[in-house]
Amino acid sequence: MEKTESKELELKDYRNKFKDFINDKTVDKLRLGLKDPNIFQILGIAGHEIRHSNFLAWLLDPNEGHGLGSIFIQKILREIFIEKEIIIENKPLESEVKYPELMADDINYNKVQIFREWKNISSKKLDSIDILIKYEEEFIIAIENKFWSGEGEKQLSRYQEMVRECFPKEKTKHRFFAYLTPEGMDASENEWVSLSYSSIVEFLKDIIELLDDSLSVHVKQYINDYLVILNREVMGEDKLVNYAKSIYKDHKQLFDFIERHGKSSALRDAATTFCEKNEYILLSQRGNKWMYFVPKNWINTLIFKEHEKYLENSKYYPIMFALEHFRNSKGNDVIKVLIQVQPYKIGYEEKRKELITCIKEKAQLKIKSENSKRHTAVYTMQEEVTENEEEILELLKNFKEGYQKEGHQKEGYKKIANDIFEVLKSE
């Protein structure tokens, strides 16, 4: 009898919460905002990587009819040339000097060529580079765009080989490789410069403000629609995103109830179960494709308690585990496990560098891009799986304990996590 009454009270409570929700004026604002016409949403291409590459290639081409001239490609080239110390053919430029920023201003942009889905026509391989920028015999820039998907196996190294084969030093002085992702993630290959969609957002905002009177109405609308999509889907800074956050905060119990009993992704379910059973804390997620978590014993370290002091994004911690789900070039589902050091605020770069060095020495790790100022993966491993919770859980178990593959034992991240904990305690 008491159990029945309890259920009836719970049902009545949720009915009241739902009534509050449908009467919330912010919900109406969100509903109306989602009906605002946006060319990328109308065409159903907001989340399609290839369509983003098409639009960016159009903006990059100074000879197209958008009216931007060379201003957008100049900003991109400067970012590539000076974002960090460029490594060409595994060797630093002379005297470790960065590629001159003014080089981007000295280019004759009428002679710049932009290629989409560029392929080596003399090769039987099906690989294609998302965007290729060619400037006479001076340089080639290959841009790999990863809007939501992750790297395919040895994908970037194959692209480097393609570019070197078609554009050897005798024909082209310099070859650059840029890896474009929402958050400016580091690539698996050291020669790839990190680019972020957040930079593209800032560039386009500046251009709209600068060329406001000279751009056609249609071009301004296209760029503004694109900025809305990037801010909403990538940056999380759109007006409608703020509405959504406010609605969730005001009706959290209702949404938590729906989330518990509604549809969820296999990755999220597996990550939640894994964390509950293995003394990990599930921190946050980005869609259903990225999950972040940390061991519980890391939380009490001083560096974690003071994380807002150091980090660009205060919702994260200095170093975290990440789970990524993506499809590779073969169309197969892949789960990647990473341990990442997050970006630090300006003024704390040396502290971040010291943390990476200590982790590298303690855990005896080979860390690629350890001098990067953005996301640095100190550990990464990936496997093809089906999008099934049980299979992902088994994969996580193997990753944790270490597993046998191709005739050798791979170190599990359980030991590495313990080594990192020792480093964190000493910080």
Token pair for 148: 């939501």
pLDDT reported for residue 83: 62
Question: Is the Cβ–Cβ distance between 351 and 373 less than 8 Å?
Answer: no
pLDDT reported for residue 34: 61
Q: Is 90's pLDDT higher than 50?
A: no
Mean pLDDT of the chain: 77
pLDDT reported for residue 259: 60
pLDDT reported for residue 358: 87
Q: Which amino acid is located at 177 in the chain?
A: F
| 413 vs 417, more confident | 417
Question: Is the Cβ–Cβ distance between 96 and 85 less than 8 Å?
Answer: yes
pLDDT reported for residue 382: 79
CA distances from 320 to 186, 325, 348, 389 (A): 15, 16, 18, 22
CA distances from 336 to 233, 356, 364, 383, 392 (A): 22, 21, 21, 7, 10
If pLDDT is split at 50, 70 and 90, which confidence band does 8 have?
A: very low
The 10s digit of each residue's pLDDT in 322-363 is 888 887 766 777 888 888 888 888 878 888 888 888 888 887
Q: Which amino acid is located at 179 in the chain?
A: Y
Question: Is the Cβ–Cβ distance between 197 and 386 less than 8 Å?
Answer: no
DSSP class of residue 306 equals T
Domains of the chain: 49-235 (no CATH), 265-426 (3.30.1460)
Average pLDDT score over residue span 283-305: 80
The 10s digit of each residue's pLDDT in 224-248 is 888 888 877 666 566 666 666 777 7
Q: Strand, helix or coil at 228? A: helix
Compute the distance between CA of residue 356 and CA of residue 371 in angstroms, rounded to an integer.
9
Compute the distance between CA of residue 425 and CA of residue 359 in angstroms, rounded to an integer.
12
Give CA 72 to chain center in angstroms: 21
Q: Is 89's pLDDT higher than 90?
A: no
End-to-end CA gap in the chain:
56
Provide the whole-model pTM: 0.53
pLDDT reported for residue 135: 92
Compute the distance between CA of residue 132 and CA of residue 118 in angstroms, rounded to an integer.
7
The 10s digit of each residue's pLDDT in 39-88 is 666 455 555 667 788 899 999 999 898 999 999 999 999 888 876 554 44
pLDDT reported for residue 240: 66
The 10s digit of each residue's pLDDT in 263-272 is 457 788 888 8
Q: What are phi and psi of 273, to 5 degrees?
A: -65, -45
The 10s digit of each residue's pLDDT in 182-206 is 878 888 888 888 888 888 999 999 9
Question: In sequence order, which residues have a C-beta less than 8 Å from that of residue 356 and are 6 or more positions away?
Answer: 341, 367, 370, 376, 378
